[in-house]
Structure 1
Amino acid sequence: MRRLGASLIPATLLPVVLALTLPAAADAAVDRSNGPDPFGDWTETVLDADQNFRGLEAVSRTEAWVTGESLTDDGAARVFRTTDGGDTWVDVSPADSEGLSFRDVEVHGRVAHVLAIGPGEASRIYRSTDGGTTWTEAFRNPDKKAFYDCMAFYGNGKRGLAVSDPVKGKLRILSTDDRGESWKVLPSKGMPASADEFGFAASGDCLVTVGKVAFIITGGAQSRVLRSDDRGLTWTATESGIPAGESAGGFAGAFATPGNGIVVGGDFAEADDTADTTAYTRNGRTWTSGGDLRHIGEDVTFLRGTRYAVATGDYDGSAGTSTTSDGGRTWTRVSKKGYHVIDCVGKVCWAAGSKGRVGHS
């Protein structure tokens, strides 16, 4: 349940197929008083209805990358990039991506990284230094017991981490210190026991960094937030307050500072149960249950400062987007439209989701 998806798409330059402004009447009854409205001038583009997008990097107000997987068995996973504010999108996918699932994309300067998830060799990291024109395979997982879910980079992108489901009872951490050219597995001594606990590859944000701190958001047997202050060598774990379960827990996190963060989640087996779907921290170490979303929470991002953030989700009929103006303590639904992943730069937000949908404000 936690993996969510499959995919296909032709490897050609792809212009905008459909662009529309969301009709205000669709959400006329929605309260928009809770801070900046990410859906104020929203435009949605359908790139390809066969792609399920769960990876997104908002580089700037004009540049964004999305990654997906085919809804067709053994179809090709795709990567798309825009540099003109979403007017046109280019297919910049790595070759031979049939059957893969691209769930995370990270871009720092001229270097882009794409994570494919799955057991054994299905977990891979591709790297490009020329805007996706060419790619090199920087990592292919040799361990059949490992399954990588998310990745994140620190600061300017020199150092980064990726997290795998437990191997021998502990979450496994992969590390790079050369801008993703090479990767190595870190020792597990500093990782707390985490059997049957895992990150959800729902939006690529089950592992996030802020400053010199990294956080892992988990579900499964336990629903916790793990924190590392030493580049992934040692971790401390704290209960998030979001209920755990085989398909439940925290799905994604966002941090405005190392002390101010929000986690969102839910239960993919019972997507309509939206109680206890958020938590927040004011010190980066202890967590308090936040307001309930009226939809599943697959991703969250700060919109401005430490107070304003936006959360979204779209799974099995549970869809919507909500904002908070108090750092996650309370939430207001601003749209019945939801996505799998969302990211904001300044006041401009980008989102991506099912059936090839990409939106931006």
Structure 2
Amino acid sequence: MKLKLIFNLLLLAALTACGPFGNVTLQTPGPAAASGTPFIIVQTPPPPTGTPVILLPTDTPIPPTSAPASLVVVPEPQIISFHMTDALNGWAVGGSYILRTMDGGLTWYNVTPAELAQTGVNVTGRYFLNASTAWLVNLGVDTAQGTLYRTADGGLTWSSAAVPFGGGEMKFLDGQRGYILTSLGVAAGSQAVSIYQTADGGATWTRIYTNAPGDPAAADTLPFAGQKSGITFLDDTHGWVGGNVPMPSNVYLYATQDGGATWTQQSLALPLGFESAMTEVDAPVFFTALDGVLPVRLVAEPLSSVFYVTRDGGLTWTATFPLNVTGRYWMANLLDLFLWDGGPSLYVSHDTGLTWDLVATNVNVADTLMQFEFADASIGWMLTRDAAGHAAFYKTTDGGATWNVLIP
């Protein structure tokens, strides 16, 4: 049974009196929740008995008729990372190839740039905009430089250009305008970075910010202190960088309103009971010009997660209900959020984090989960890797309750 968060204690008492809830536990958010703080009701799932049942797909993978004849199928590829751009189309990086699927992950085609097929795949930056357009940064001998590859036809052809960075976190607004946050080195809780911008699809890049010590052009509005975890831009003017610093009551979120030239730390109120927590902040994800979600990990006892929401283009952020669990997350859209540590229970929200359901899954991959994504409230994929380095790829069509093996 899935039970939702109840924000009204009187309603909680009434519901408890109306009928059985099975085996439930009550958890208050935060290490010292104040009186009147809403509870989260969590159904305690039964522990897995024996080996989890993995359902094999009943349909035989058939190459879609729309696939170009020149593409070669890679049977059971070993995937390192993936991204699905919709329910059918996606990209993946393997140890020796770049892959594309057009049937929801059943069939994978080799779309490796010809040059990389000869020199080797060592991808250190990637962005997959849609089913047709993608960028890859491949690291060369010099770790400070790389080669950027771009396709606009689903990997049939690639263009390449030398770039003055060896990889990083990429974000493209469309087929032409993009940004990359590239690391220049870390030391004792600090990290030097540079930010580059392109307006021609990646053919040329301009450095718009650096905080590298000793660089004559270095600035400090995005400080050297703190580890940076990601970058996003809403438009040509407004952008954000997330990260963390070992300091209580600090949310490491910096925003720019001038295209990345200068940055200002945004002030976010921590949830009740977590006022002294340290935080780990990823870059926000925007779904409209006004609406976005910011994931934050709360380093406290217990370790917890909270999603902040903006309705005004990132000017202000409001915390939703914190969950006393951490793990990997995915935001399929503005409403459908997922949080999972790979265990037998998957946290799901269908109202932007206001309430959460607990979905019992047919697998327990807590020790092997590498990545998961959802296209919508029902369709999702996950990647696992065991201690021997073997990867497996799964798909769900029922919101995460049942996971079928696509690549064993």
- Whether the TM-score (by the shorter chain) exceeds 0.5 is yes
Q: Distance in 2 between matches of 1:322 and 1:162?
A: 31
Correspondence for 1:120: 143
Q: Distance in 2 between matches of 1:310 and 1:211?
A: 24
Counterpart AA for 2:353: G
Q: Distance in 1 between matches of 2:372 and 2:139?
A: 16
Correspondence for 2:286: 255
Q: Distance in 2 between matches of 1:223 and 1:47?
A: 45
Percent identity of paired positions between Structure 1 and Structure 2: 20
Tell me whether 1:52 sits opposite 2:80 in the alignment.
Answer: yes
Count of residues paired in the alignment: 297
TM-score by length of 1: 0.64
- Aligned match of 1:61 in 58, 72, 87? 87
- Aligned match of 1:82 in 101, 108, 111? 101
* Largest Rg, 1 or 2: 2
TM-score by length of 2: 0.58
- Aligned match of 1:332 in 345, 348, 357? 357
Correspondence for 1:129: 152
Correspondence for 1:197: 226
Deviations 1:50-85 (A, max 9, x none): 5332x4141x332112335xxxxxxx3543211123
Larger displacement relative to structure 2 (111-120 or 229-238): 111-120
| Pairing 1:18-167 to 2, within 5 Å after superposition | 29-31=1-3, 50-53=78-81, 55-58=82-85, 60-67=86-93, 76=95, 78-94=97-113, 95=116, 98=120, 100-102=122-124, 104-108=126-130, 110-115=132-137, 120-121=143-144, 125-142=148-165, 148-154=167-173, 156-165=174-183
CA shift at 1:292, angstroms? 3.1
- Aligned match of 2:393 in 354, 357, 360? 357
- Aligned match of 1:208 in 232, 238, 243? 232
Contact 2:97 2:121 in 1 (8 A): no
Counterpart AA for 2:98: V
Contact 1:171 1:198 in 2 (8 A): no
Q: Distance in 1 between matches of 2:343 and 2:147?
A: 31
- Aligned match of 1:290 in 320, 335, 345? 320
Q: Distance in 2 between matches of 1:124 and 1:319?
A: 41
| Pairing 1:335-346 to 2, within 5 Å after superposition | 336=361, 340-344=371-375
- Aligned to 2:287, the other structure's residue is in SS state strand
Q: Distance in 1 between matches of 2:183 and 2:357?
A: 33
Indicate the structure whose relative CO is greater, using CA pairs within 8 Å and at least 6 residues apart.
1
CA shift at 1:158, angstroms? 1.4
- Aligned to 1:185, the other structure's residue is in SS state strand
Correspondence for 2:331: 301
Correspondence for 2:18: none
Counterpart AA for 1:88: T
Tell me whether 1:280 sits opposite 2:309 in the alignment.
Answer: yes
Q: 1:320/1:112 Cα in 2 relative to 1: closer, same or farther (>3 Å)?
A: farther
Contact 1:65 1:105 in 2 (8 A): no
Deviations 1:228-263 (A, max 9, x none): 344433333225549887xx6123532223443222
Which structure shows the higher strand fraction?
Answer: 1
- Aligned match of 1:224 in 234, 239, 252? 252
CA shift at 1:179, angstroms? 1.4
Deviations 1:95-120 (A, max 9, x none): 25757245633225743112458993
- Aligned match of 1:236 in 258, 261, 264? 264
Contact 2:146 2:163 in 1 (8 A): yes
Q: 1:263/1:207 Cα in 2 relative to 1: closer, same or farther (>3 Å)?
A: same
CA shift at 1:173, angstroms? 0.9
Question: Structure 1: which 5+ residue stretches go unaligned?
Answer: 1-28, 35-41, 69-75, 201-205
Deviations 1:14-61 (A, max 9, x none): xxxxxxxxxxxxxxx444899xxxxxxx998997585332x4141x33
